[in-house]
Structure 1
Amino acid sequence: MIPKGRLIIIGGDNADEHERESPQYQSFSQISRLLSDKKDDRFEIITASESMESIQKYFCEILSKEGYNNFDFIHVHKNHHTEDYTSRILEAKIVFFADYEQKTYNILENSAILKLLNKKYLTEEDFTIVGINSGAMCISGHILNGSGTDTGLGFINNCIIDTQFDHKTRFKELVKAILSHQECLGLGITGRIALIIEKGYKASCIGNGSIIVVNAKNVKNKRFREGDSLFAKYLKGHILTEGCMLNLFSGELIKDNEFNYNLNFINRNTIQ
């Protein structure tokens, strides 16, 4: 089934109170304007973080600055019944995953909330799931864990996402994960950029950063062991910047469509 909703993946943006005027912070402010053109749409922010106060301060500041005033926080933890929040999820148009990727999955696995989110994502044209910072990494079916991958929430299963990406230290880890899951693309997403995914495969870039795409679909010869260098033949990749569009199934750039993002959801989903 082709999803009718959107996914938005936002790269690492861990600005503190001394960094609010930085280009990275201002870029997220720009991206937040693409969430909805209706300022009273319901937002829910899901987090498993123990630093709830800082999470609330961060989102309140950004969303209020952009004029969004109808939002609240869902703090999930092991001793809480997530089913208590289903009525709020039913009303939501935008749902954020804010932090702590594997911990979030462990709590939401097989929950009523996760089933409802999947249903809304598949069937509602004006519904959006947003992953920000490390929370974006749990959106996929596979999560990087430092030594391989764990199971994610599975809203999308054709890519592995790294929003803490640094080509000096994280590239090898992302490549190893992709070589173990060659059906997926690796997406190394830096700060200051977001990826908007529609129909489950059409990904559009917006922002001032870059995205490294790793494609191992054609790799036949590969070799890697713990502590050894990687060897992979026919490994492909792209560097994406604002305006680029990527087919997440094939790993190829979409060249025949000019980037012109539209918040008219019905019109947007009829465009091929």
Structure 2
Amino acid sequence: MESTITPKGRIIIIRGNDKEADEESEGRLTPYDLLLKILTRSSEQKTVRIEILTTSDHLENGGKDAALKKEGYNNIGCIFLREKEDLGIYYSRISEAKIIVFDNPHFSEILKDSSIPDLLLKKYLHEENFTIAGINAGGMYLPGLVLHDKGNLVTGLGLVNNCIIDTKFRHGKRFTYLVDAVIQHQECLAIGINAGMAFIIEKGYRASCMGNSSVMVVNARNVNNKCSKKRTSVYKKNLRGHILTEGSVFDLFSGERIKKPLLPDTLNFIKRNAIQ
């Protein structure tokens, strides 16, 4: 699913706050709260068609999409993906949707032999402002490579091919797995999304952050891994890292932060006070 075309759509990877860490917090953001904030900030029309793809029925009877419906996003459908089902029956619904939400990580295996991934890629590349959102572990399967629970890499949908995204990210063994993965696949950046954050990718490379925590980016493109052995504790020279917070903008191609342009008032102030 590789392409040199600049995508017109966007991809959103969301990790809600962990229940075990914030169970008693009244301000705990659910993934759909974060999605709502993004849609509101981008002035998305509330009449747009939203399809939620899941492999379970937990969204029924006022489920997790209640935050969207409460704010007036009522044009929402839910597609329950099941194994050995003819997914062609959902083709037209996905074709008409402006926002697709993956709410469960098991969709990738179910979709892989259908025409749906090609349809999603086509819409993502050519349809202005088309949005694909991955919720929690569901977001990890949108790139081409996916970090499995035991540190092994499996195949994802391939909508993003320059990074490996981890929404189960924690310091410790999971972090070791993530770093090891990008050392072995240096064409990719490692993106570790902490609880309460959203990672928004536009034009295929321009990534911005929203939320109350942080995103860690690990860049191994300049690491010499000729002597690397998987999961061994060795010193790695030129391994780089960035910690991104809300408002940060990052270039997935260059592996560097994008500096925000100065506001006109700031530029005028600099010009007025410049040393002649």
TM-score (norm 1): 0.85
* 1:73 paired residue among 78, 97, 111: 78
Distance 1:56 1:91 in 2: 24
Contact in 2 for aligned 1:31/1:206 (Cα 8 Å): no
Answer yes or no: is the 8 Å Cα contact 1:20–1:26 preserved in 2.
no
- 1: CA distance, partners of 2:192 / 2:46: 31
Q: Deviations over 1:33-59 (max 9, x none)?
A: 32252111110011124xx22577433
- 1:117 is aligned with what amino acid? L
Aligned residues: 253
User: 1:45·1:74 contact (CA, 8 Å) conserved in 2?
Assistant: yes
Which residue matches 1:205?
Answer: 209
| Corresponding letter in the other structure for 1:43 | I
Q: Which runs of 5+ in 2 are unaligned?
A: 264-276
Structure 1 window deviating more from structure 2 (181-190 vs 147-156): it is 147-156
Q: Quote the residue 1:128 is aligned against.
A: 131
Query: 34, 44, 48: which is aligned to 1:41?
Result: 48
1:118 aligns with 2:121: yes
Distance 2:144 2:242 in 1: 22
Task: Compare CA radii of gyration and give the structure with the larger one.
Answer: 2
TM-score, normalized by length of structure 2?
0.84
Which of 56-65 and 182-191 deviates more? 56-65
Q: How far apart, in 1, do the equivalents of 2:230 and 2:69 lie?
A: 49
Instruction: Describe the shift of the 1:182–1:88 C-alpha distance in structure 2 as closer, same or farther (beyond 3 A).
Output: same
Gaps of 5+ in 1: 260-272
Identity %: 47
Alpha-carbon distance in 2 for matches of 1:28, 1:60 = 6
Following the alignment from structure 2 to structure 1, what is the Cα–Cα distance between the partners of residues 241 and 165? 14
Aligned match of 1:262: none
Question: Which string of whole-angstrom CA distances, capped at 9 and with x for unpartnered residues, describes residues 199-224 of structure 1?
Answer: 00000111111001010000014533
SS in 2 for 1:25: coil
Q: Among 153, 169, 174, which residue is 1:149 paired with?
A: 153
Are the aligned partners of 1:31 and 1:207 in contact in 2 as well (CA < 8 Å)? no
Aligned pairs for 1:143-182 within 5 A: 143-145=146-148, 146-182=150-186
Q: Could you say what the CA RMSD is over the residues aligned between the two structures, in angstroms? A: 2.3
